[in-house]
Amino acid sequence: MRALINRFLQNVRFYRSLKFRIFIIVLLIGIIPSVIVRLMMINSYKNRAMGQKTAEVTNQSAIVAAHLARTDYLSDMNNPVIDDELTQLSNLYDGRFLVIDDSYKVIKDTYGKSQGRYIVSSEVISCMNGSRNMSSFDEVNNYLEITVPILDEVTGKVYGALVASASTDGIRDNVELLGRRAYTLEVIISVVVMLIAYALSATLLRPFDKIIKAVSSVREGFDPGLEAIEVPDYTETKDIMDAFHHLMSRMKEVDDSREEFVANVSHELKTPLASMKVLSDSLIQSGDAVDAETYREFMVDIAAEVDRENKVINDLLSLVKLDGNETAQLNLATCDISAMLQQILKTLTPLAQKDGVELLYEEKAHVEADVDEVKLSLAIMNLVENAIKYNKEEGWVKVTLDIDVQFMVITVSDSGIGIPEESIGRIYDRFYRVDKSHSREIGGTGLGLSITRNAILLHRGAIKAASIAGEGTTFTVKIPLEADV
Ligand code: ADP
What does the pLDDT look like over 343-393, one tens digit per residue? 999 999 999 999 999 999 999 999 999 999 999 999 999 999 999 999 998
- pLDDT class for 417, splitting at 50, 70, 90? very high
Spell out the residues 6+ positions from residue 405 whose beta carbon is closer than 8 angstroms to its own.
Answer: none
Is 70 exceeded by the pLDDT of residue 105? yes
For the Cβ of 318 lying below 6 angstroms from any atom of ligand 1, the answer is no
Q: Is 448 in the pocket of ligand 1 (CB under 6 A)?
A: yes
Residue 8 has pLDDT above 80, yes or no: no
Residue 316 alpha carbon to ligand 1 centre in Å: 16
Residues 6+ apart with CB under 8 A from 164: 57, 60, 61, 89, 93, 95, 96, 97, 98, 145, 146, 147, 148
Cβ of residue 433 lying under 6 Å from some atom of ligand 1: yes
pLDDT of residue 221: 67
Q: Are 436 and 381 in contact (CB under 8 A)?
A: no
Residue 422 lies in a domain: yes
pLDDT of residue 73: 87
Q: What is the CATH number of the domain that holds 299?
A: 1.10.287.130
Asked if 316 and 449 sit in the same domain, the reply is no
For the cut 70, the answer to whether the pLDDT of residue 447 exceeds it is yes
Q: Is the CB of 427 under 6 A from ligand 1?
A: yes
Domain boundary among 170, 198, 221: 170
Q: Tell whether the model's pLDDT for residue 287 goes beyond 90.
A: no
Q: Are residues 390 and 273 in the same domain?
A: no
Which of 318, 427, 429, 447 to mutate for ligand 1's pocket (most ligand atoms within 8 Å of CB)? 427
Predicted local confidence at residue 327, as pLDDT: 57
Please check whether residue 146 lies inside any domain of the structure. yes
Domain-terminating residue out of 145, 170, 195: 170
Give residue 225 CA to ligand 1 midpoint distance, Å: 39
pLDDT at residue number 391: 94
* pLDDT given for residue 244 in this prediction: 86
Same domain, residue pair 377 and 410: yes
55 CB-side CA count, 13 A: 6
* Per-residue model confidence (pLDDT) at position 267: 87
Domain assignment of residue 19, yes or no:
no
Shared domain for 77 and 155, answered yes or no, is yes
Instruction: Please give the average per-residue pLDDT across 28-34, as a whole number.
Output: 90
Domain annotation covers residue 24? no
Q: What pLDDT was estimated at residue 326?
A: 56
- CATH number of the CATH domain containing 383: 3.30.565.10
Q: Which of 274, 304, 320 is the last residue of a domain?
A: 320
Residue 485 has pLDDT above 60, yes or no: no
Region of poorest pLDDT, from 33-42, 121-130, 170-179, 274-283: 121-130
Here the CATH number for the domain that contains residue 102 is 3.30.450.20
Q: Could you tell me if residue 17 is inside a domain?
A: no
- Residues 374 and 330: their CA atoms lie apart, in Å, by 9
Residue 475, pLDDT above cutoff 60: yes
Q: Looking at residue 324, what is its pLDDT?
A: 61
pLDDT of 254 reads: 86
Task: Look at residue 430 in the predicted model and tell me its pLDDT.
Answer: 87
**Has residue 440 got a pLDDT over 90?**
no
* Cβ(390) – ligand 1 distance below 6 Å: yes
Cα–Cα distances in angstroms (integers) from residue 239 to residues 230, 234, 246, 297, in the given order:
10, 8, 10, 65
Shared domain check, 469 and 365: yes
* Predicted confidence (pLDDT) per residue in 175-198, tens digit: 999 999 999 999 999 999 999 999
Total domains in the fold of the chain? 3
Query: Does the pLDDT of residue 395 top 80, yes or no?
Result: yes
241 Cα to the center of ligand 1, angstroms:
40
Q: Which of 439, 453, 456, 471 to mutate to test the pocket of ligand 1 (most atoms within 8 A of CB)?
A: 439
Minimum mean pLDDT range among 203-212, 224-233, 316-325: 224-233
- Is the model's pLDDT at 318 over the cut of 60? yes
Q: Are residues 331 and 446 in the same domain?
A: yes
Q: Domain range holding 123? A: 68-170
Shortest-distance atom of ligand 1 to CA 475: 23
User: Which pLDDT value is given to residue 325?
Assistant: 63
Q: Are strands 407-414 and 396-404 parallel, antiparallel or unpaired?
A: antiparallel
Residues 414 and 269 in one domain: no
* Residue 10: band (very low, low, confident or very high) from pLDDT cuts 50, 70, 90: low
416 lines ligand 1 (CB under 6 A): yes
89 burial type by CB count under 10 A (0-12 exposed, 13-18 middle, 19+ buried): buried
Asked if residue 472 has its Cβ within 6 Å of ligand 1, the reply is no
The pLDDT, as a whole number, for residue 165 is 92
What is the CA(45)–ligand 1 centre distance, in A? 93
Domain-located, residue 151 = yes
370 and 265 co-located in one domain: no
Domain assignment present for 485: no
Residue 29 lies in a domain: no
Decide if pLDDT at 5 tops 90: no
120-145 tens-digit pLDDT: 888 889 888 878 888 888 888 888 99
- Claim to verify: residue 156 and residue 303 sit in the same structural domain: no
Work out the number of other CB atoms within 10 angstroms of the CB of residue 238.
Answer: 14
Helix (H, G, I), strand (E, B) or coil at 437: helix
